[in-house]
Amino acid sequence: MLDFSSLLLAAALSGTCLSITMLAIWFTAPRARFVLTVACGILVLVAHVVLFWQYTKEPNPWLCQAVLALLSLGFLIICLSAMQYLGVGNQGSVVVPTVTAMAACALVTYLGFDGVGFIITYTTVTALLAVIGVMFWTKGGHDRRILLVVSFLSGTCAVSFALCGAMLAIHGQWVLGVAPDNWAERLNTVVAVACMTGLGALTLSLHHLQAQIELKAETLTDPLTGLMNRRALNSLYGERAFGPFMAVVMFDLDHFKRTNDLFGHPVGDKVLCRFAAIIRKYGRNGVDAFRLGGEEFALVISRMTEEKAYDLASKIGVAFGAEVVPTPRGPLRSTVSGGIGFGAAGGSSLDEVLAEADKALYAAKHAGRNRVLVLDKESKAGGPALRSA
């Protein structure tokens, strides 16, 4: 059976292998910064284990302080990596209490109450692991099965550290002079090795999952404007039935080819980005914006009457017409034409609503541009009639 020293060395070896693997992954994918943070946290914990092993052989107060500080710091870094991955801000809410606890631990240990220092540190680590588990369970938006396992492992590890602190407190071991050694410590070492190995493997899975999500986002996003593209439009609404309170607005920038010819493509790109910014400014829940290609854009509007949809599209056109793009040839103002297609009570397909919006857009261009038009019932049936609202 493995003795306590062997368990500690096994933990150090496991952590070292994990951190090397994660560093290798980070070198191939530098954007995955949370992987680098996890690797750094595990390396700090490896240093803690090595020093703790040394402390079991030759205990002294300064080594004790280093051991406890590295334990809290390692799990703090791992907690910060979880916040990085989940996009949770306000890292100071975790850093400040942890640093405060580390300072309190250093003080009581310096005064000779090393047992109290261990209790403070175990309590701090328990809290950090609990925070990790809660964040992954409540903040994660990806595969719930992976998040459940992360939460379970963090919780299990937290319980093992809590037991270590509880054993010292129950037996009143406020002053130790040596490394604590009891069944809870041995159990904690085994659990920590298993949980950290599992969390390391799950970190790799989460990295792979994040890479897939980012790749999918890139394929559905227009790189110039940051709006969703035509593929995203078909993905989100290709199978949807458009009811009477849904609409598609087709926008086409007026004389855009002439803008590119006279002012150059870089200026044309600025104009496209300005229009994208206008669409975002007027965005709200139930309004999705897309760049379909070139100077053509689309807006899908849900839960809105025909009058309000027309009003929104008109405001976008007016706001864009007021935009001024500085160029070497002087200030440039551009306009946009729009056409709106509406769903039907019986449900219309995306292609049907797009065709209606495109027909209204063509009519707006033919009528002189810089306007938004809607087909009336006669036009939908094949007649020439149009209306502005």
Please work out, in degrees rounded to the nearest 5, the angle formed at the alpha carbon of residue 222 by the alpha carbons of 216 and 223. 95
State how far the alpha carbon of 382 is from the alpha carbons of 246, 249, 327, 339, 362, in Å.
22, 20, 43, 16, 14
The residue behind tokens 């041995």 is 186
Single out the catalytic residue among 295, 306, 352, 378.
Answer: 295
Q: In the 3-class helix/strand/coil scheme, how is 7-39 assigned residue by residue?
A: HHHHHHHHHHHHHHHHHHHHHHCCCCHHHHHHH
State how far the alpha carbon of 169 is from the alpha carbons of 33, 120, 174, 175, 190, in Å.
39, 10, 7, 11, 21
Stretch (H or E) spanning 248? strand 246-253
Question: Amino acid identity, residue 306?
Answer: E
State how far the alpha carbon of 359 is from the alpha carbons of 24, 131, 340, in Å.
55, 55, 9
Residue 307 falls in the annotated catalytic set: no
Question: Amino acid identity, residue 179?
Answer: A
Which ranges of the chain would DSSP assign to H, the alpha helix? Answer: 4-28, 33-57, 61-86, 92-110, 114-138, 144-170, 183-219, 230-237, 256-263, 265-281, 306-321, 350-366, 377-380
Q: In angstroms, rounded to a whole number, what is the distance separating the alpha carbons of residues 100 and 71?
A: 14
- 17's tokens: 């292998």
Residues 300 and 227: beta-carbon distance below 8 Å: no
Q: In angstroms, rounded to a whole number, what is the distance separating the alpha carbons of residues 51 and 44?
A: 11
State how far the alpha carbon of 255 is from the alpha carbons of 30, 181, 252, 295, in Å.
42, 80, 9, 10
Q: In angstroms, rounded to a whole number, what is the distance separating the alpha carbons of residues 277 and 282?
A: 9
Residues identified as active-site: 295
